Amino acid sequence: MERSYNQYCATARTLDIVGERWTLLLIRELLTGPKRFGDLQHNLRGLGTGLLASRMKSLERHGLVQKVTLPPPARTPAYALTQAGEELGPVVLDLARWGLKWAMEDPRDEESFHPGWAVLGLQACFQAEAAAGLRAIYEFRVGGETFHARVHDGTLETVHGPAQYPDATITTDDQTFRDIAAGTVTLAGALESHAASATGDRDALRALHTLFRLPSRTPQ
């Protein structure tokens, strides 16, 4: 049975729909594209099969998620966001920015880390003013995951999977990437220590150092 705040208030009504545990994380996963049930379960370890099925049914019932069939060669059932679900994107990104600024301390031993979460994390850290006039495609190879970012004159698109023609490629392992995400290591530091490597166009690589910055608690 779904719980309700029983308040005729837009905020309360929204929390009635997306305020349950795991729900916004499911939205986060689907913001980067359709996912199969197994993909969602793999990326959200700790979310049991029964609870996942219940959450997806609720999101379908409220019109945030719809069932789709992935294109060839997969041709398997999956879940995708509706327009209403997609419009939660800015909300999720604002939560991520707030969390990067106020909630991200040192990683805890019991916490999992999935490099693919950086697909949205890059958007949360993106510095649009530094990307003015820049057109470049960056491919990130982190452990067994690959994703890429397309920068086009102050805008950013991040996508799972390899880029067809990347201008620059950054390669590292899960641990180093987690340290970069936590702010304990910079990309420049990881490159200098050879914990990461970068190849490609020099201008694109030089610009990369200014494109993404963790939010700071101190005024800039």
- Tens-digit pLDDT profile for residues 31-62: 999 999 999 999 998 999 999 999 999 999 99
Q: Does domain 115-211 have CATH number 3.40.50.300?
A: no
Q: Where are the alpha helices (DSSP H) in 1-117?
A: 10-18, 23-30, 37-43, 49-61, 83-86, 89-102
Looking at residue 130, what DSSP letter applies? Answer: G
Compute how many other C-beta atoms are within 10 angstroms of the C-beta atom of residue 67: 11
Q: ∠ CA 163-165-166 to the nearest 5 degrees?
A: 70
pLDDT of residue 220: 55
Chain-centroid distance of CA 30 in Å reads: 9
Which pTM was predicted?
0.86
Q: Which amino acid is at 58?
A: S
CATH 3.30.1050.10 domain extents, the chain: 115-211
Mean pLDDT throughout 50-79? 95
Reference 121, options 109, 136, 134, 104; nearest CA is 104
CATH 1.10.10.10 domain extents, the chain: 10-86
Reference 207, options 148, 167, 180; nearest CA is 167
Contacts of 158 (CB under 8 A, 6+ apart): 32, 119, 120, 122, 123, 147, 148, 149, 150
Question: What confidence tens digit (pLDDT) does each residue in 80-139 have?
Answer: 999 999 999 999 999 999 998 898 877 788 888 888 888 888 999 999 999 999 999 999
Cα–Cα distance list, 3 to 7, 16, 77, 114, 158 (Å): 12, 7, 29, 30, 35
| Fold observed for domain 10-86 | Arc Repressor Mutant, subunit A (1.10.10)
Reference 215, options 106, 82, 121, 79; nearest CA is 121
Looking at residue 186, what DSSP letter applies? Answer: -
Strand-pairing partners, residue 69, are: 77
- Identify the residue whose tokens are 């880390």: 113
In this structure, of 14-28, 54-68, 170-184, 199-213, the range with the lowest mean pLDDT score is: 170-184
Burial of residue 82 (CB within 10 Å: 0-12, 13-18, 19+) is middle
